[in-house]
């Protein structure tokens, strides 16, 4: 972290940040309380932010409560990630009109103003980096995501109050923004909220040239030494507060060799195949298209988020390939933790815990992975595979 470009702001300074970004043409969005949850919404002033709100999360459970805590970011993550701001749940890809040789097909260009995300978490920044790889660096990148992401301003607030479902430390994505993130790595400002002894400050570091420019406009004082030590204490405490863990050691090959593990059928007895985990997940990127026509002959191709838990997801003429819940849960979990590496050279999971909190029956990905690790090779074909793989299994 470049300490020379770090400043200490009070909440008035944060208010100025929102104003400066708005004046620069950004649509400023941040965490707001709505419908009993904290999630992305338009913000124009600091008062729009969830001061004093806290979230209590557990498998299948999420509750908000409020007290007189002066902090704005004393909660973990809500059900909706920032994915929806950059990769909208619904969009129109193209529109056609006319017919025969006079048919015209016109791309629908996303004209949403650039967005400034204020208050993403470090794990969510990691999720954006994953989406950058998946949607942004394909031979044919997704035009909407790419345009929005390139134009976006991202201010991350480091995590002081992890939830019981969080396991970012296992995935190396939080609660701090890693020092290797200094510079041009998809984030513009990194904030740490410091509160205590009647003081309420934000330690703000620029992480991009634009972030530096914006920070210079805000005034405030250069970050004093106590702010850095307060940050260190805060993040150490946050790290210590994370109780859930996912053992990632050899996890990708572990799951790849346990595709016929009986645990998949066991978890399928509980899984409702509702797809909540995929909607809440900040890296799930699957989408589907449908063509919509009207009586004038205009056709539009609509894209919407899709879920691998949907029966139609794996449809090949003749029917879906994965008809059982067991196959679909396995597809999701092994994609996140195993085949994602093959496809995109990274895990598909950042440890935000949303899939655990928002699963209506409280299925815990970390628990499922641990169960398979505990009986590695329990599948019916394990013996044959061990032989084929060179006998590295018992």
Partner 1 sequence: MTEELAELVARHPLFAGLPTDVASLVAGCAHNAAFGAGELLLAEGEPAEALYLLRRGRVALEIRKPGSGQLVVETLRPGEVVGLSWLFPPHRWKTDARAMEPVGVVSVDAACLLAKAEADPAFGFALMKRLLPVLLSRLQATRVRLLDLYGDGAHR
Partner 2 sequence: MARTAERPAKAGTSLVPLAYRVAWRRRETADVVTIALEAVGESLAPFRAGQFHMLTAFGVGEVAISVSGTPGAPGPVEHTIRDVGAVSHALSRLPVGGVVGARGPFGTSWDVTGLADEDVVVIAGGIGLAPLRGAVHQLSGRRGPGRLTVLVGARTPDQLVFADDVRRWRELGADVRLTVDAATPDWGGEVGLVTSLLASASFDPARTVGLLCGPEVMMRFAAADLADLGVDPSRIRISLERNMQCGAGICGHCQLGPLLLCRDGPVVTYGGAVAALMGQVER
In the complex with partner 1, which residue's Cβ is closer, 272 or 321? 321
Question: Which option in partner 1, partner 2, none does residue 147 bind, with CB closer than 5 to 8 A by kind?
Answer: partner 2
The DSSP secondary structure of 261-289, one letter per residue, reads: -HHHHHHHHH-----HHHHH-SS---EEE
CB 59 within 8 A of CB 267: no
In the complex with partner 1, which residue's Cβ is closer, 143 or 320? 320
Query: Least separation, in Å, of the C-beta of 317 and partner 2?
Result: 4
Q: How many degrees, rounded to 5, is the angle at CA 390 between CA 387 and CA 393?
A: 70
**Closest to 350 measured CA to CA, from 149, 83, 6, 93:** 83
In the complex with partner 1, which residue's Cβ is closer, 16 or 322? 322
The count of C-alpha atoms lying within 13 angstroms of the C-alpha of 107, restricted to the half-sphere facing its C-beta, is: 6
Beta-bridged to residue 151, according to DSSP, are none
Is 319 a binding residue for partner 1 by CB under 8 A? The answer is yes
Give the residue carrying structure tokens 């009993």.
36
The DSSP secondary structure of 123-179, one letter per residue, reads: HHHHHHHHHIIIIISSSS--HHHHHHHHH-EEEEE--SS--TT--HHHHT--SSPPG
d(CA 289, CA 300): 10
Is 295 a binding residue for partner 1 by CB under 8 A? The answer is no
Is 317 a binding residue for partner 1 by CB under 8 A? The answer is yes
Which one of 7-15, 65-73, 90-98, 118-126 is the stretch in contact with partner 2 (CB under 8 A)?
90-98
Query: Least separation, in Å, of the C-beta of 257 and partner 1?
Result: 25
The DSSP secondary structure of 92-112, one letter per residue, reads: EEEEEES-GGG-EEEE----P
> Where does residue 392 rank: exposed (0-12), middle (13-18), buried (19+ CB within 10 A)?
exposed
Question: Which option in partner 2, partner 1, none does residue 319 bind, with CB closer than 5 to 8 A by kind?
Answer: partner 1
**Token pair for 177:** 């923004």
Is 368 a binding residue for partner 2 by CB under 8 A? The answer is no
Q: Which of the residues 204 through 263 are near partner 2 (CB under 8 A)?
A: 208, 210, 256, 259-260
Which residue of 35, 68, 111, 140 would you call a contact of partner 2, by CB under 8 A? 140
Which residue of 318, 390, 391, 394 would you call a contact of partner 1, by CB under 8 A? 318
Query: Least separation, in Å, of the C-beta of 327 and partner 1?
Result: 15
Query: Least separation, in Å, of the C-beta of 312 and partner 1?
Result: 15
Q: How many degrees, rounded to 5, is the angle at CA 115 between CA 113 and CA 84?
A: 105
Which residue of 13, 30, 40, 186 would you call a contact of partner 2, by CB under 8 A? 186
Is 301 a binding residue for partner 2 by CB under 8 A? The answer is yes
Which residue of 316, 374, 380, 388 would you call a contact of partner 1, by CB under 8 A? 316
d(CA 76, CA 96): 44
Is 311 a binding residue for partner 2 by CB under 8 A? The answer is no
d(CA 282, CA 393): 35
d(CA 236, CA 162): 12
Is 315 a binding residue for partner 1 by CB under 8 A? The answer is no
**Token pair for 59:** 């498998």
Is 312 a binding residue for partner 1 by CB under 8 A? The answer is no
How many residues contact partner 2, by CB under 8 A?
Answer: 72
Which residue of 2, 4, 229, 288 would you call a contact of partner 2, by CB under 8 A? 288
Which residue of 290, 296, 391, 394 would you call a contact of partner 2, by CB under 8 A? 290
Which residues would be at the binding site for partner 1 (CB under 8 A)?
Answer: 316-319, 321
């Amino acid at each position: 972290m470049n300490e020379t470009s770090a400043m200490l702001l009070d909440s008035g300074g944060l208010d100025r940040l929102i104003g400066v970004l708005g004046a620069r043409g950004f649509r400023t969005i941040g965490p707001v309380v709505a419908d009993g949850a904290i999630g992305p919404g338009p913000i124009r002033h600091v008062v729009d932010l969830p001061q004093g709100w806290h979230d209590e999360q557990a498998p299948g459970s999420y509750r908000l409560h409020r007290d007189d805590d002066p902090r704005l970011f004393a909660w973990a993550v809500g059900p909706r990630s920032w994915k929806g701001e950059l990769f909208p749940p619904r969009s129109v890809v193209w529109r056609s009109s006319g017919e025969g040789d006079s048919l015209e097909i016109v791309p629908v260009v996303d004209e949403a103003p650039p967005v400034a995300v204020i208050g993403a978490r470090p794990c969510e920044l990691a999720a954006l980096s994953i989406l950058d790889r998946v949607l942004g660096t394909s031979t044919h990148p997704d035009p909407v995501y790419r345009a929005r992401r390139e134009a976006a301003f991202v201010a991350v607030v480091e995590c002081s109050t992890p939830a019981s479902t969080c396991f970012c430390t296992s995935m190396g994505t939080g609660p701090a923004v890693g020092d290797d993130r200094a510079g041009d790595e998809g984030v513009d400002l990194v904030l740490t909220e410091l509160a205590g002894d009647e003081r309420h400050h934000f330690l703000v570091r620029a992480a991009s040239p634009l972030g530096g420019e914006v920070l210079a406009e805000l005034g405030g004082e250069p970050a004093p030494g106590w702010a850095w030590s307060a940050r260190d204490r805060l993040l150490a405490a946050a790290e210590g507060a994370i109780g859930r863990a996912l053992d990632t050691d050899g996890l990708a090959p572990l799951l790849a060799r346990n595709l016929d593990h009986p645990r998949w059928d066991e978890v399928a007895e509980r899984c409702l195949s509702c797809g909540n985990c995929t909607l809440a997940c900040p890296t799930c990127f699957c989408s589907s298209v449908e063509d919509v026509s009207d009586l004038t002959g205009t056709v539009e191709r609509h894209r919407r988020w899709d879920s691998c838990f949907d029966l139609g997801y794996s449809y090949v003429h003749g029917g879906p390939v994965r008809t059982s819940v067991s196959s679909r849960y396995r597809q999701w979990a092994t994609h996140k933790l195993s085949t994602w590496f093959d496809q995109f050279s990274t895990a598909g999971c950042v440890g935000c815990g949303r899939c655990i909190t928002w699963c209506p029956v409280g299925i815990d990905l970390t628990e499922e992975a641990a169960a398979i690790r505990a009986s590695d090779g329990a599948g019916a074909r394990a013996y044959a595979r061990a032989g084929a793989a060179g006998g590295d299994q018992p």
